[in-house]
Structure 1
Amino acid sequence: MTAADSEVRHILSLSGGKDSAALAIYLRDRVPDVEYIFHDTDKELPETMDYIARLQAILGKPIIRTTPDKPFEHWLKIYRGMLPSNHRRWCTKMMKLKPFEDYVGDGPVINYVGLRADENRLGYISTKPNIKAVYPFQDDGLVRADIIRILEDSGLGLPPYMDWGRSRSGCYFCFYQQKIEWVRLLETHPEYFKLAQEYEEKTVEFGEQFYWSQNETLRELSRPERVAEIKAHHEAVEAKRKARRRNLPLVQVLAGLEPEDAPHLRDGCLVCSI
């Protein structure tokens, strides 16, 4: 290794999701000098924080916590009450990507990204010229079934928020949540649902109503009759998906293709959701 090579830093951003956690374990013995970092927005689910703590114990080295220089409330005022959405992802930009780039600095960095070989999507990652993104799972042909095996063999397992039906990591008010996930948040963590609702209702102070979930307020979504309607719709969709899955080619079944891999659940910012 040359002197120039020794100056290159190796960094993996953890989201609290299964893929980046599996990649951290995968790299543990392959890249011993990798720096593991987690961008703590103070808006994470308790299950995510528990998962990060357990992963740190398995890795046997600290996971460095970065925090935004300004809290969510500050940026919400700067953006005049405009809640983040898939069209205006200022939360990722200011609370995840900016802390990452500040931590990296201007020196050469290899950034490890946990996109799998069975995924075909782009994400919201840094474009700084000193940062080179690499994709070990794609390079080595690892798919979802491999990621689950890595997590199970390590003793870490899947993120605990998946136990109650949340599909991704990220802040508790993440706008990429499906309506059924908002319902599950309401039922599992009503205190966080209430906080998200309060953020939403305060947006009118800036002269316009913004929504977390498309064009439906969380107050409307939480009505018992609406909750029942969302659950019924979700059950019907899942029944159709399971019926389609029975007709999948064997190679896709062996690859571990699951309902979670449906195209509508692949959206999201990579730094938040993998």
Structure 2
Amino acid sequence: MATDKLNITSVTVDEAVADVGARHVLGISGGKDSAALAIYLKDRIPNLEYFFTDTGAELPETYEYLSNLEAVLGKRIERLNSERGFDHWLQVYGGALPSPQMRWCTKMLKIKPLEAWLGDSRTYTYIGIRADENRSGYISTKSTIRPVFPFKEDGITKEQVFKILDDAGVGLPEYYEWRTRSGCSFCFFQRKSEWIGLSERHPELFEEAIAYENKQGFEDTAMKGRQYTWSQGETLPELRERADEIKEKHAAAMQRAVSRRTNLLLVDALDDVLAEEDGDDGCMVCHI
């Protein structure tokens, strides 16, 4: 099989395993699919290395989920940290918050630390894209890194992912009660209803996001007076003022989603509704 975006040919699990001396790695995002893939491959690839690119701004639920997963895997998930944190790169980029148009957080806090950790080793990276999805996830441009898609290869769907997690006793991360993807607490890909969820469940993290939003690039005269917001079109305080309105619309959309489909799990309804509200774009690294 071949990936669409970068024309980098993927290989099967058997082909990858047959390459003696190569490294085998699997990125854990903190979400359901990568966790299920780690469990799915645990006995098949004993030398599989697990990693998590830790920005230092992840949700508490994510860190808890990683610990639970390590207990099941019986192996440590390597935490990869950027040599310089979010505040450093915020200053480098002139106070401009990362956005869908300028994803410097993904590049500097996730991709670069990962590729530095891998170095020039011949590596196979196992990616948790399911058979019922039409996306490729993050594919490195380095010729030494080859992607492997075991779930696509074996026809594993979302329903089967849930079963893998339930059978292993891991279940879903608790944040799935109010948001559908892992990632930073102040991730700009959050929908408005997810921001409200953050404000209610982790008010201290919501206030931290407001503090970042209020920072301006005063050192750079070209940036003075410019306003950056995490949620496009309004500041977080403005969004919070509309909390009741946003929650009412979200609750009505959830009800419509449930009524349209029978036997719909809460996480599926939430996924459908949030995609409908603000589209289904997401960080290629954080969303698997």
Percent identity, aligned pairs only? 51
- The number of aligned residues is 263
Matching of residue 214 in structure 1 with residue 232 in structure 2: yes
- Gaps of at least 5 residues in structure 1 are 247-252
Give secondary structure in 2 for the equivalent of 1:258. helix
Whether 1:61 aligns to 2:70 is no
Relative to structure 1, the CA distance from residue 196 to residue 256 in structure 2 (aligned partners, 3 Å threshold; closer, same or farther) is: closer
Deviations 1:6-43 (A, max 9, x none): 22100001111111011100110011110001111110
- TM-score computed with the length of structure 1 as normaliser: 0.90
Question: 1:146 and 1:153, CA in 2 relative to 1: closer, same or farther beyond 3 A?
Answer: same
TM-score by length of 2: 0.86
Are the structure 2 counterparts of residues 56 and 257 from structure 1 closer, same or farther at C-alpha, using a change threshold of 3 Å? Answer: closer
Change (3 A) 1:188 1:149: same
Choose which of 168, 182, 185 in structure 1 pairs with 2:195.
182
Partner of 1:259: 269
Q: Within 2, Cα distance between the matches of 1:257 and 1:48?
A: 16
Q: How well do the aligned residues superpose, as a CA RMSD in angstroms? A: 2.1
**Conserved 8 A contact 2:129-2:137:** no
Partner of 1:202: 215
Read off the aligned partner of 1:170 and give its amino acid letter: G
- In the alignment, which residue of structure 2 is the partner of 1:132? 146
Output aligned runs, 1:11-30, within 5 Å: 11-30=25-44
**Counterpart mapping for 1:1-274 below 5 A:** 5-163=19-177, 165-203=178-216, 205=218, 206-207=223-224, 208-223=226-241, 226-246=242-262, 258-262=268-272, 263=275, 266-274=280-288
Output the CA distance in 2 between the equivalents of 1:177 and 1:256. 18
CA offsets 1:197-243 (integer angstroms, 9 cap, x no match):
000011364421111011110011112xx101101111222222223
Distance 1:268 1:124 in 2: 11
